[in-house]
Amino acid sequence: MGEFSPNSHAVVVRGLRRQYGERVVIDGLDLAIGTGEFVALLGESGCGKTTLLRALAGLDEADDGTIESTGEIAVVFQEHRLMAWLPLWENVALGMNTATGRVLAQNALGEVGLAGRENDWPLNLSGGQAQRVALARALVREPGLLLLDEPFAALDALTRIKMHVLIRELVARHHPGVLLVTHDVDEAIAIADRILVMRSGKIAISLDVARETEAGRGPLRARLLHELGVDVPDAAHV
């Protein structure tokens, strides 16, 4: 990686290191995500994806290295983490001034397809709707960096595809840098501009997919599966 201009990057990570006892999980990792860039992070189970995300979110201390980010950082997890005793708008506006928070929450709920539902309760929502509220809560603060920790993994296949379309629209409108942790190679290819593979505590591979043609996606999928330790005879048709 070359030199980064902090102004055009949502986050720049240099030499990040994290270890648990003797086990080094992140080992001098470098990473830069541009403003408005959608990056997916793949890696074998236990390679340190969640550890990296937690360090970026400030939920965990790093042992060494620097993380420079230009704006707020928001996280959406696999489970929605909404508060059952608060109506949807209050979940979205949590910690904001009530009057402006309410208006911003209403707008954000409209953006995720839940207009008019601001006084409804989390318990009345489907899994997909609850994740929409979680996205609204993250984006209402206009974060510079949006961290997504497998937010669509628990959803059914059709709902997941709808969420892929929605998240792309939201990112195009709000321009945060995005880091999506996923186990799903097809999800990564469908929505990311760039795919990273993490291995041995570092970013081992960075592949541009934004301009990949339809014909190029089969070989790309096979390559990514191979990098993740899965070799299939003709991966384009699996």
Ligand X SMILES: Nc1ncnc2c1ncn2[C@@H]1O[C@H](COP(=O)(O)OP(=O)(O)OP(=O)(O)O)[C@@H](O)[C@H]1O
The answer to whether residue 50 forms part of the interface with ligand X (CB under 6 A) is: yes
The answer to whether residue 45 forms part of the interface with ligand X (CB under 6 A) is: yes
- Dist. CA 224–CA 156, nearest whole Å: 23
The answer to whether residue 51 forms part of the interface with ligand X (CB under 6 A) is: yes
Strands 73-76 and 145-149, how do they pair?
A: parallel
- Chain centre distance of CA 237: 27
* Selected binder of ligand X within 9, 12, 43, 196 (CB under 6 A): 43
Residue 124 or 206 with smaller CB distance to ligand X: 206
SS3 of residue 31 by DSSP: strand
* Selected binder of ligand X within 20, 99, 116, 210 (CB under 6 A): 20
* Selected binder of ligand X within 29, 47, 55, 147 (CB under 6 A): 47
* Selected binder of ligand X within 3, 5, 46, 116 (CB under 6 A): 46
Task: Tell me how many residues contact ligand X (CB under 6 A).
Answer: 10
- Exposed, middle or buried, 10 (CB in 10 Å: 0-12/13-18/19+)? buried
SS3 of residue 205 by DSSP: strand
Site residues (vs ligand X, CB under 6 A): 20, 25, 43, 45-51
